[in-house]
Structure 1
Amino acid sequence: MAKQIGITGGIGVGKSIVCRIFQNLGIPIYDADSMAKKLMVEDEVLIQGIISEFGSESYSINGELNRSYLANVVFHDAEKVKILNHLVHPRVAKHYQNWVISNNKAPYLLKEAALLFESGGAKVLDEIIVVTAPLDVRINRVLQRDPHRDKNQILAIIEKQMSEEEKIKMSDHILQNDDSSLLIPQIMKLHEYFKKS
């Protein structure tokens, strides 16, 4: 079985760029957040679960997820967020296990997820990398990437996420992506370590 490594970190830390570098080194990446969005429109079990919990308005007539409706119904209600997560996370976990089997020839595998600890996904992984960056750097990155968000919205998202300190405590490796530490040498060091271990 290929070694399974988790990669996590809050909004704006730069998980995507880190994953792209690992991908260029030939390492398969499972992007759990993108896959969750994909499964919400492709996985029949998940679709039926969402409809029975949140109503048929959750999907348009042509089967597209009605994101604005779901956001209004779910995201201001912690209990409903929990229900949605309980529907989505097990389906992503099942899909991930099949992906691991089909990519088992790789030197190691990377699973990227913002909610790696919160979803319970970390439990099945061998080691965890957390990507970190100072708060002001994170805010600026998100403002550039998502012009539709303002600083208060970004801070509200950060507030809801597990703190960086907690993630660091629960992780095996830290990647500093603060725009002053060189990222590639840090990644190369981990790459060599994972290939040997």
Structure 2
Amino acid sequence: MSAPRIIGLTGSIGMGKSTVAAMFADEGVPVFDADAEVRAMQGAGGELVPAIETAFPGSTDGNGVMRDVLGSRVFGDPEALARLEAIVHPAVAERRSAFLKDNEDAPFVLFDIPLLFEKGGDRGLDRIVVVSAPSAVQRERVLARDGMTADRFEKILQLQMPDSDKRARADHVIDTGVPLEQTRRKVRALVAQLREEL
């Protein structure tokens, strides 16, 4: 039995990536959500909590990692971020391998990877799907989030590859700046196309 083909899903902040990933799941595609795995491993009793507390004392409590505290320590500090990634990335890779083994009979699976291009995660993928929306829609969505400020949004954008560059490198682009049902129809059509091609 050959291993499933791997589809990478990515998109900048506020583009609707999680919504689109859920639509793929609704179509029966196994989805590996890297962020969700990290949240689970950093939550109460999570396997990464002790190592993160050792590397960043005072960044955890009984509920696991205090994301805002840890975020303030690594945001804008490349050395601190590298230390955190050295803890997190191998654990995510392990979970990803287990996910692939669990879904080895699927024709293809979806990897939901926020910084796919920025972190070189596009290697070894069979197709790349980028979710995209007009910048005004993106801005409105992001600034509606709790605790988000225009300044923080700008800093996040600076760390991410421009949307136009992501679209240029994509095999498929899903527009989320349209009514939800329209996006869902596009996802459904793409899943059917991928099943046929892969």
SS at match of 1:159: helix
2:51, 2:99 → 1: CA distance?
23
- C-alpha root-mean-square deviation of aligned residues, in Å? 2.1
Which residue matches 2:168?
A: 169
* 1-structure distance, mates of 2:88, 2:165: 24
1:51 to 43, 46, 53: 53
Q: Is the 8 A contact 1:93 1:121 kept in 2?
A: no
Q: Is contact 2:49–2:64 with CA below 8 Å preserved after alignment?
A: no
**Would the aligned equivalents of 1:9 and 1:114 in 2 still touch at CA under 8 Å?**
yes
What is the letter of the counterpart of residue 127 of structure 2? E
Q: 3-state SS of the aligned residue for 2:52?
A: helix
* C-alpha contact 1:10 1:114 (8 A) present in aligned 2: yes
1:99–1:137 Cα change, 3 Å:
same
Q: Which residue of 1 aligns with 2:100?
A: 100
* Alignment: residue pair count: 193
The 8 Å contact of residues 49 and 65 in structure 2, kept in 1 or not, is answered as no
Residues in 1 aligned to 2:46 and 2:116: alpha-carbon distance in whole angstroms:
21
Could you tell me whether the CA contact under 8 Å between 2:7 and 2:108 is conserved in 1?
yes
Q: Secondary structure at the match of 1:16?
A: helix
Q: Distance in 1 between matches of 2:78 and 2:174?
A: 31
Residue from 15, 30, 51 that aligns with 2:32: 30
- Structure 1 alignment gaps of length 5 or more: none
**Structure 2: how far apart are the matches of 1:67 and 1:190?**
35
Residue 78 (str. 1) matches residue 78 (str. 2): yes
Deviations 1:132-188 (A, max 9, x none): 1111100112233x1432333222212221211332233221112222693133212
Residues 90 and 119 from structure 1, CA distance in 2 versus in 1: closer, same or farther, beyond 3 angstroms? farther
Contact 1:89 1:119 in 2 (8 A): no
Q: Is this contact kept in 2: 1:40–1:88, CA < 8 A?
A: no
Which one has the bigger helix percentage? Answer: 1
Distance of 2:178 and 2:123 partners within structure 1: 31
* TM-score relative to the length of structure 2: 0.86
Counterpart-to-counterpart distance in 1, 2:69 and 2:25: 35
Rounded to whole Å, the distance in 2 between the matches of 1:184 and 1:128 is 18
Q: 1:91 aligned to 2:91?
A: yes
Counterpart of 2:165 in 1: which secondary structure? helix
Change in Cα spacing, 1:52 to 1:150, as seen in structure 2 (3 Å) is closer
Equivalent-residue separation in structure 2 for 1:123 and 1:170 (angstroms): 12
**Quick one: percent identity of the two aligned structures?**
32
**Deviation >4 Å, runs of 4+:** none
Maintained 8 Å contact 2:9/2:130: yes
AA matched with 2:122 = A
Q: 1:170 corresponds to which letter in structure 2? A: R
Aligned partners of 1:170, 1:132: CA distance in 2, in Å?
13
What pairs with 1:64-143 in structure 2 (closer than 5 Å)? 64-143=64-143
Structure 2 match to 1:194: 194
